[in-house]
Structure 1
Amino acid sequence: MIDDPMEEILSVLQDVVLPAGVPVVPDFETAARFSIAADVGESSGAWFDVLPADDGRLTLVLGQVPGSGMVAVAAASAAAAVLRASLRHSGDLATALSLLETHAAMTPDARGTVLAVATVDPHDRVVTYAVAGHDGPVVSPRGGAGRRLGVHGPALGHGVVPSVALETLADGDVVALELGVTDLPAQLDHHRAESLEATCDAVSEQVMTVAERGVVAVVAAGLPGRRTADLMVRLPHDELASRRARHELGEWLERCGATAMDSLSVVQATGELIANALEHAYPARDVDAVVELRACHRPSGEVVVEVVDHGHWRRETDEAGRGRGLAMAAGLVSGLEVVTGPDGTRGRVSQPLGRPVAVRRHPVVHPPEAVVDIHRDAPDRLRLTGDFGHDEVERVGHELGLATRGGTRPVVLDLSDLVAVSAGALRLLGDLVATDHGPTRVELRARQGSVAQRELTRAGIAHDAS
């Protein structure tokens, strides 16, 4: 229960930005877990996607826009839409990332977005991946030690298109992206279960027990999936045909991994087509009449069911009440069509299979105050200590503006003693050292092994780590 009306609005918007679930596809096992802290505004700029392509490839996306609140939610929604549409249009990861970088550079609220994306080809057993200010994907083999793919690049919006790399996979491998999970390779190795759903559950549950704030997210795909042979059933023209069709189709959908709701929708809509074919295509006593039921699970995750007869339907009438069954069936599935020709009638039902992913809210454990202290050790040397959160970005930016006299005097900024660095803080730090508008006036320093040094390295922000 959320008491604050504004937080309730943000919570609803966060749910709108995120997909309703993950696709159920024949070539992969898929799973995702997404949880945000009770202080919902802190991390509302995060999103994930699992995008199937018609050729069977599957793309995992995990990103986060700096900042918090409604602005971050809107910026995340736009960034997700740009990447999703570009991948759908071009089918090429490098092209999609180039367009997303352009979008981030032109959109102030999207500048500094961090991203990890991986496209897995089930036929070539290859993962194509890229990161922007984020850790690389993790590959976890069954029975072996997981590894993080080592590629780094700056956050989006600074004129650098993320580089694309490739890695070969094997059967049993899981490819995973994360936010807020420390040492994901070891976590996957330790919690590996029979199903990927159970594995992601165990990892996210363990992390949420110690999470302080922000996002805990795991998005994963495993090879191979559960490919199911196409269904082909010949139904004689008798009183048991509809019952047999529903039984056969329901069992086939279960083998495909369909949820109970998807299965119910497809079976009900198909049942209406079969009932129509048996009633209208053949004379009542035609013992040789047959209706064919065919079904396939496409690489994109879409189930297509066809009901085919070779009879001749009676002429349509304007009788009141006719057609209600087909109207109801059309409302149950994503697509329904009936095509009649001289050789019979073909009815088709289509429905993408998916598994819901609920947005969970984990309790904040010992919530720290996001306060950063600014120390002026010398006129040209500043040092930050504490927690550099989203809410402190404007104040720190103002102090640095004064110290550099509007960017006209060089300043050294020491970040070695920070205990946390938010995405919004990283965007500010990246802007401070950007050289696209002339020479930089701020030199960042972070002691080797410090929190800031690790975050700056991950985000691809220039700094001195000596």
Structure 2
Amino acid sequence: MELDPERLVGGADAVRAVFEGLPIMLAGLDGPELVIVAANAAYRTAMGREQLVGLTPWEAFPDIVGQQTIEMVYRVYRTGRPESGVEWRVQFDRHATGEGVVEAYFDFTTAPRLDDKGNVVGVVLFAHDVTDRVRQRQTAERKAAEAERRYAEAREVITALQRQLLPPGLPVLPSVRIAGSYLLADGADASGGDWFDAVPLADGRVGLVVGDVVGHGVAASAAMGRLRAVLRDRLEETGDVRTAVAAVDRMARRGRDTHAATVCVVVLDQGGDFEYCTAGHPPPLVAGAGQARYVPLSGGGPLGTGSTHAVATDRLDPGDVLLLYSDGIVERPGREPAASSVELAQVLADAVADTGYRTPGLPAVERATALTLEMMIRTTGHADDITLLAAQRVAPVDPLHLTLPGDLEVVRAVRRALLAWLVELGAGEQDVVALQHAVVELVTNAVEHSRPDRADGTITLDAALAADGVLRISVTDDGRWLRRCSTTDQDFHLDHGLGLAMAGGLADELHIARTTHGTTATLHRELSRPARLLTADQVTSGAPAGGGEPGLLLVLDQPQTEDNRVALDGPLDVTTGAQLTAELDRLTLGGSHELTVDLTGVTHVASVAVAILHRAVERGERNRAPLWLYAPAGSVADHVLTLVSLEHDRG
């Protein structure tokens, strides 16, 4: 007996009333274009739009393009797999309420809608506005700031070591703006071997470095610190990419903890041309005009593996952003490396073009390192450290020149003008505060102690940022050095020179030149901006925490083959490195027998595994018992082994 559908689900009017009155946000979309065919009152109210039916998501919500929400809906239709998000931050315009652009947080699930034959015919979305919950938590977090500060002071020594070994800041330069982010992997052994550096060179060029040492923990951090110090020293001394890479390559050959480290080194000149070397490291990205491209690999494998490291050249146009990164942002849980690389390029292009979140006043390099990080890990989490270093060619800011009357009324004007100029330069907050104090002291000192002889006497301030990132500010008066009027000599000696002492303490250098025509005080300070050193909860509240439980590595014998052959299935990472080493020793009888390793089923190849495979291949060559690696074209292992120039059969 066939049942009446109305007896099962109710009549159309009743179903519509229930659907419309549900407190949860619901919407249904049909067909390949995903036209909205249903949206209940809760959904329309939350999104601030009354007219949605008949529109595609692109037409209904053009203001959230680039925030990875619409993209997810179409991906669910293509793949047939549901996807969910927790506390996703979304910026959009609530037209109907007149609120304008708002920022809200949502928990949601997007699922495919199937016909009676199991074919995907549309998508259903249900969501809950959790903005109040998120705001309450944020308020509680602000109230707990003091407790968090005390906790931060008691953090594990290993994290403190990581922060000490990385550069405290990135240089502020006239023609290049630089920003960086470092996201620590989760877990008790969080400190890793990623590092970054930006090195101003004497001729106006700048060296940019991102590297990755095998493993995690104190040993990896210490190895990273040694490589970084050598590389920085050689770049400062020679300014030559080839020489600098050769130096760290020699060092990597001498120690197991530095063996198979990877590094990308770029030297960028003020005209936009740059030389670079990718020693087993992912290639840099160049983004501009709404698109991004990978520069070609220069060639050569990881450090200390006997590879020859070539140097290549490319060009950065004005306004373009150059991004160096570690493989943690590409090798994310649940993402194929090739697809993840494409995703990184698109997300970077959107961030640089500012087509996603509205970030007025945030420089493109800051968006490239902050928003790119947030967008990439929000759906997958991360299993390894992630380092991003971005540089953008910018037009130099004109030097500051002020000619002012020699009285104390000029102090306020100097402070305002200097603040505006330093902000335009991109100076960090600490530099701004220090320089404002120092310059005001010099101006005050000029007025009080070097009173101009003439009624039309002046004080002149000149400030310019040199190509090496050193700011030079001079304050000149045209008066005589006069002893201040004091009631006693003791008062004079206590006060005399205090302003200069304060200015000197706030500068790297302070020089005073006195002549019969006046006095000039010149201070030097190297400018820098802090890089972001983050943990996962500081990036975005919507990203899953960490990469999940470590997978199992299966070693499968293949007795049906003629040669000695095994297949590996699962992740090759820090959690399975010891197992991989032990199995290779067992299967090759300590490197004395040939072995073919099939990597088709490998789901992840971390740097620790690359080092193990490199050592095993080298041992086999020495013993005339080769270790053959097989990784079919397009596989995870093929992507990584090609990147690090580890020879393998692609089928």
TM over 0.5: yes
Q: Which residue of 2 aligns with 1:423?
A: 607
Q: Which residue of 2 aligns with 1:371?
A: 552
Q: Which residue of 2 aligns with 1:247?
A: 416
CA-atom RMSD in angstroms: 2.7
Task: Return the alpha-carbon distance in structure 2 between the equivalents of residues 64 and 43 of structure 1.
Answer: 12
Using the TM superposition, give the Cα deviation of residue 370 of structure 1 relative to its aligned residue in structure 2, in angstroms. Answer: 4.5
Question: Residue 189 of structure 1 is aligned with which of 338, 349, 360?
Answer: 349
Q: Which residue of 2 aligns with 1:404?
A: 588
Using the TM superposition, give the Cα deviation of residue 274 of structure 1 relative to its aligned residue in structure 2, in angstroms. Answer: 1.7
Q: Which residue of 1 aligns with 2:26?
A: none
Residue 86 (1) aligns with residue 255 (2):
no
Using the TM superposition, give the Cα deviation of residue 150 of structure 1 relative to its aligned residue in structure 2, in angstroms. Answer: 3.6
Question: Residue 304 of structure 2 is aligned with which of 140, 157, 167?
Answer: 157
Aligned amino acid, residue 213 of structure 1: A
The Cα offsets for residues 236-286 of structure 1, whole Å up to 9 and x where unpaired, read as 222313233222222222222223332221111111122222222236x64
Task: Return the alpha-carbon distance in structure 1 between the equivalents of residues 203 and 503 of structure 2.
Answer: 28
The Cα offsets for residues 47-98 of structure 1, whole Å up to 9 and x where unpaired, read as 1112222332222211110011000000011111111111001111111111
Contact 2:574 2:608 in 1 (8 A): yes
Q: 1:178 to 1:328 in 2, by over 3 A?
A: same
Q: Secondary structure at the match of 1:205?
A: helix
The Cα offsets for residues 140-188 of structure 1, whole Å up to 9 and x where unpaired, read as 2223453343433200012324211001332232211122133232222
Aligned residues: 463
Using the TM superposition, give the Cα deviation of residue 427 of structure 1 relative to its aligned residue in structure 2, in angstroms. Answer: 0.5
Residue 64 (1) aligns with residue 212 (2):
yes
Residue 463 (1) aligns with residue 648 (2):
yes
Aligned amino acid, residue 454 of structure 1: H
* Greater mean deviation of Cα atoms: 110-119 or 308-317: 308-317
Task: Return the alpha-carbon distance in structure 1 between the equivalents of residues 414 and 308 of structure 2.
Answer: 52
Task: Return the alpha-carbon distance in structure 2 between the equivalents of residues 4 and 438 of structure 1.
Answer: 51
The Cα offsets for residues 383-434 of structure 1, whole Å up to 9 and x where unpaired, read as 2221111132233223322322222222222222111111111011111223
Q: Which residue of 2 aligns with 1:31?
A: 179
Residue 132 (1) aligns with residue 279 (2):
yes
Contact 1:135 1:152 in 2 (8 A): no
* Greater mean deviation of Cα atoms: 400-409 or 113-122: 400-409
Q: Secondary structure at the match of 1:37?
A: coil
Residue 228 (1) aligns with residue 413 (2):
no
Q: Which residue of 1 aligns with 2:96?
A: none
Q: 1:145 to 1:398 in 2, by over 3 A?
A: closer
Residue 8 (1) aligns with residue 178 (2):
no
Using the TM superposition, give the Cα deviation of residue 376 of structure 1 relative to its aligned residue in structure 2, in angstroms. Answer: 3.3
The Cα offsets for residues 96-121 of structure 1, whole Å up to 9 and x where unpaired, read as 11111111111221111011122221
Q: Which residue of 1 aligns with 2:460?
A: 292
Question: Which runs of structure 2 are paired with 1:300-449 in the superposition (5 Å)?
Answer: 300-314=468-482, 319-362=493-536, 364-378=545-559, 380-434=564-618, 437=622, 439=624, 441-449=626-634
Q: Which residue of 1 aligns with 2:358?
A: none
Task: Return the alpha-carbon distance in structure 1 between the equivalents of residues 346 and 565 of structure 2.
Answer: 40
Residue 258 (1) aligns with residue 418 (2):
no
Using the TM superposition, give the Cα deviation of residue 439 of structure 1 relative to its aligned residue in structure 2, in angstroms. Answer: 4.1
The Cα offsets for residues 336-371 of structure 1, whole Å up to 9 and x where unpaired, read as 232334554321122222222221111534513143
Contact 2:288 2:352 in 1 (8 A): no
Aligned amino acid, residue 28 of structure 1: V
Contact 2:321 2:352 in 1 (8 A): no
Aligned amino acid, residue 78 of structure 1: R
- The answer for unaligned runs of 5 or more in structure 1 is none
Q: Secondary structure at the match of 2:568?
A: strand
Question: Which runs of structure 2 are paired with 1:38-49 in the superposition (5 Å)?
Answer: 38-39=186-187, 41=189, 44-49=192-197
Contact 2:200 2:236 in 1 (8 A): no
Q: Secondary structure at the match of 1:20?
A: coil
Q: 1:7 to 1:261 in 2, by over 3 A?
A: closer
Using the TM superposition, give the Cα deviation of residue 447 of structure 1 relative to its aligned residue in structure 2, in angstroms. Answer: 2.1
Task: Return the alpha-carbon distance in structure 2 between the equivalents of residues 26 and 373 of structure 1.
Answer: 54
Task: Return the alpha-carbon distance in structure 2 between the equivalents of residues 215 and 192 of structure 1.
Answer: 23
Using the TM superposition, give the Cα deviation of residue 437 of structure 1 relative to its aligned residue in structure 2, in angstroms. Answer: 4.6
Question: Which runs of structure 2 are paired with 1:264-279 in the superposition (5 Å)?
Answer: 264-279=433-448
Q: 1:212 to 1:295 in 2, by over 3 A?
A: closer
Q: 1:386 to 1:4 in 2, by over 3 A?
A: farther
- The answer for unaligned runs of 5 or more in structure 2 is 1-147, 331-339, 355-362, 537-543
Residue 238 (1) aligns with residue 407 (2):
yes
Contact 1:98 1:161 in 2 (8 A): no
Using the TM superposition, give the Cα deviation of residue 218 of structure 1 relative to its aligned residue in structure 2, in angstroms. Answer: 2.1
Contact 2:287 2:352 in 1 (8 A): no
Q: Secondary structure at the match of 1:109?
A: coil
Task: Return the alpha-carbon distance in structure 2 between the equivalents of residues 278 and 12 of structure 1.
Answer: 45
Using the TM superposition, give the Cα deviation of residue 20 of structure 1 relative to its aligned residue in structure 2, in angstroms. Answer: 2.5
The Cα offsets for residues 268-311 of structure 1, whole Å up to 9 and x where unpaired, read as 1111122222222236x642432221100112222210112344
Using the TM superposition, give the Cα deviation of residue 46 of structure 1 relative to its aligned residue in structure 2, in angstroms. Answer: 0.6
Contact 2:323 2:389 in 1 (8 A): yes
Q: TM-score normalised to the size of structure 1?
A: 0.91
Aligned amino acid, residue 75 of structure 1: A
Question: Residue 116 of structure 1 is aligned with which of 264, 271, 275?
Answer: 264
Q: Which residue of 1 aligns with 2:94?
A: none
Q: TM-score normalised to the size of structure 2?
A: 0.66
Residue 214 (1) aligns with residue 384 (2):
yes
Q: 1:145 to 1:72 in 2, by over 3 A?
A: closer
Overall identity of the aligned pairs, in %: 30
Task: Return the alpha-carbon distance in structure 2 between the equivalents of residues 4 and 287 of structure 1.
Answer: 57
Higher gyration radius (CA):
2
The Cα offsets for residues 177-219 of structure 1, whole Å up to 9 and x where unpaired, read as 1221332322222333353112432211011211231123321
Aligned amino acid, residue 427 of structure 2: A
Contact 1:146 1:188 in 2 (8 A): no
Task: Return the alpha-carbon distance in structure 2 between the equivalents of residues 247 and 187 of structure 1.
Answer: 38
Bigger RCO of structures 1 and 2 (CA < 8 A, at least 6 apart) = 1
